[in-house]
């Protein structure tokens, strides 16, 4: 059926085919594509009787409408089914209402998992891939507590994103991962187990990219706008001044979403983005009560349905590994860290901890202070 256009052919196609064809129109913003559909009608847009001469479209754009490659679009649908995903189009009743409000909503969503989560209240949590151990602990804790009231939404990246998902799973609650690849690809690859556990525990993976689409630099800002667009608010736990997390926060502001930022030490380079957000008017967060009070209209205790029968700590352990070359240094934060907390974090005997802390102090990496130790800023 490639490059064939007739009323007979289009009558045999599904709405998914037509929305994929609209999506395939080149170099045209999504909101303009939606206006085209509203003006002509979804199927009528591709009818041989439709006059596009006064539409203001370029020749390549008109060609994409007059001669869509139905075979290629059918292959996308087939590939989606092969990776056990479902396609949600813009006019589908299950399409998220909040997402329709943003400037450039995706016309097509590829989802795998629990589609019911699309209609539930969501809060996004994002942050640095190179997060400190303190930042990861905060993300894990806050996500777990917030998951009693919201579906936790993040981007399945290393660091804060992963801990947000893990916090919800550890709390036996729901989480959504918005990814920047096709759903047949896991990025980063080390999160295959995390992705599997999200699905296994009634969570959801979402992408606007068709199966087979590998990660590209331009995909991540698009992914970030969906993370914020799906959510009522965005919580930034740690972020440098030049980071994707700040892109997500900016998208949230443009979309009229609430933005929250967790402060940290002034010596923590991963916190400078959060401090900048607070200077720009983001709400400073010291606990989840600072977030929840902004959404009093959402019923409490509606989501923690004990969907996990047992806690799976293997994911948390794997995420902790490899994030810092010196596990002991990673156990000390930029805030005063008591020795017993270092012992708990490092899972080492206290005599070993004290010896290694002394070595780190001699190397100028930590400082002994009343109440414990501080990580020093080497920048």
Residue 177 inside a domain? The answer is yes
**Which residue, 314, 345, 367, sits at the end of a domain?**
314
Let me know whether 309 and 351 are in one domain.
Answer: no
Residue 104 inside a domain? The answer is no
Let me know whether 166 and 257 are in one domain.
Answer: yes
Let me know whether 291 and 195 are in one domain.
Answer: yes
DSSP-derived 3-state class of residue 64: helix
pLDDT at 331: 87
Residue 31 inside a domain? The answer is yes
Let me know whether 297 and 173 are in one domain.
Answer: yes
Let me know whether 144 and 276 are in one domain.
Answer: yes
Q: pTM (2 decimals)?
A: 0.82
Let me know whether 215 and 185 are in one domain.
Answer: yes
Residue 91 inside a domain? The answer is no
Let me know whether 205 and 236 are in one domain.
Answer: yes
**Which residue, 291, 314, 337, sits at the end of a domain?**
314
**Which residue, 79, 98, 122, sits at the end of a domain?**
79
Residue 102 inside a domain? The answer is no
Contacts of 84 (CB under 8 A, 6+ apart): 112
Let me know whether 285 and 358 are in one domain.
Answer: no
pLDDT at 300: 53
Let me know whether 151 and 289 are in one domain.
Answer: yes
- CA dist 139 and 163 (Å) reads 6
The CA dihedral of 81, 87, 93, 99, to the nearest 10 degrees, is 150
Residue 157 inside a domain? The answer is yes
pLDDT at 229: 98
Q: Would you write out the chain's pLDDT as a tens digit for each of its 379 residues? A: 334 444 445 557 999 999 999 999 999 999 999 999 999 999 999 998 999 988 899 999 999 999 999 999 999 999 999 999 999 999 999 999 999 999 999 999 999 999 999 999 999 999 999 999 999 999 999 999 999 999 999 999 999 999 999 999 999 999 999 999 999 999 999 999 999 999 999 999 999 999 999 999 999 999 999 999 999 999 999 999 989 999 999 999 999 999 999 999 998 988 999 999 999 999 999 999 999 999 987 765 455 444 443 444 444 444 433 333 367 888 888 888 999 998 888 888 888 888 888 788 777 788 888 888 888 875 5
Residue 103 inside a domain? The answer is no
In order of 65, 135, 143, the CA distances from 132 in angstroms are 50, 5, 16
Q: Which two tokens stand for residue 8?
A: 């007979």
Residue 183 and residue 208 in contact, taking contact as beta carbons nearer than 8 Å: no
Let me know whether 238 and 309 are in one domain.
Answer: yes
Measured between alpha carbons, how far apart are the two ends of the chain, in Å?
61
Q: What is the pLDDT of residues 157-182, one digit of tens each?
A: 999 999 999 999 999 999 999 999 99
Residue 97 inside a domain? The answer is no
What are the helix (H) ranges across the chain? 7-11, 15-23, 30-40, 59-66, 70-82, 97-100, 133-146, 160-170, 192-200, 219-229, 244-254, 272-279, 289-292, 314-320, 327-330, 339-346, 350-362
Let me know whether 279 and 331 are in one domain.
Answer: no
Let me know whether 136 and 176 are in one domain.
Answer: yes
The CATH number of whichever domain residue 231 belongs to comes to: 3.40.50.450
Domains of the chain: total:
3
Q: By residue range, what is the domain housing residue 329?
A: 324-375
The CATH number of whichever domain residue 366 belongs to comes to: 1.10.10
Residue 242 and residue 135 in contact, taking contact as beta carbons nearer than 8 Å: no
């Amino acid at each position: 059926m490639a490059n064939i256009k007739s009323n007979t052919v289009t009558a045999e196609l599904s709405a998914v085919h037509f929305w994929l064809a609209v999506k395939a129109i080149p170099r045209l913003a999504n909101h303009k594509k939606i206006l085209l559909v509203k003006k002509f009608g979804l199927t009528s847009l591709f009818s041989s009787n439709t006059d596009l001469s006064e539409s203001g479209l370029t020749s390549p754009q008109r060609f994409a409408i007059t001669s869509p490659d139905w075979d290629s679009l059918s292959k996308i649908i087939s590939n989606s089914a092969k990776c056990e995903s479902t396609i949600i189009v813009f006019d589908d009743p299950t399409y998220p209402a909040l997402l329709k409000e943003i400037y450039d909503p995706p016309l097509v969503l590829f989802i795998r998992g629990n589609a019911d989560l699309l209609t539930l209240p969501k809060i996004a949590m994002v942050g640095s891939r190179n997060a400190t151990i303190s930042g990861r602990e905060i993300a894990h804790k806050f996500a777990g507590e917030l998951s009693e009231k919201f579906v936790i939404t993040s981007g399945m990246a290393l660091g804060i994103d992963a801990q947000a998902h893990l916090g919800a799973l550890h709390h036996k609650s729901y989480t959504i991962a918005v990814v920047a690849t096709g759903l047949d690809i896991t990025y980063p690859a080390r999160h295959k187990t995390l992705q599997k556990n999200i699905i296994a525990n009634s969570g959801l993976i979402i992408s606007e990219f068709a199966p087979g689409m590998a990660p590209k630099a331009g995909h991540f800002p698009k992914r970030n706008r969906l993370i914020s667009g799906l959510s009522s608010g965005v919580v930034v736990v740690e972020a440098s001044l030049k980071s994707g997390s700040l892109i997500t926060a900016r998208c949230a502001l443009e979309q009229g979403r609430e933005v929250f930022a967790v402060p940290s030490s002034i010596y923590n380079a991963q916190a400078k983005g959060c401090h900048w957000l607070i200077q720009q008017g983001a709400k400073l967060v010291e606990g989840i009560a600072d977030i929840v009070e902004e959404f009093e209209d959402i019923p409490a205790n509606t989501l923690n349905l004990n969907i996990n029968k047992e806690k799976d700590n293997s994911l948390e352990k794997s995420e902790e590994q490899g994030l810092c070359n010196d596990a002991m240094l990673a156990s000390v934060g930029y805030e005063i860290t008591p020795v017993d907390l270092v012992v708990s974090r490092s899972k080492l005997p206290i005599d070993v901890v004290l010896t290694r802390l002394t070595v780190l102090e001699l190397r100028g990496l930590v400082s002994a202070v009343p109440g414990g130790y501080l990580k020093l800023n080497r920048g």
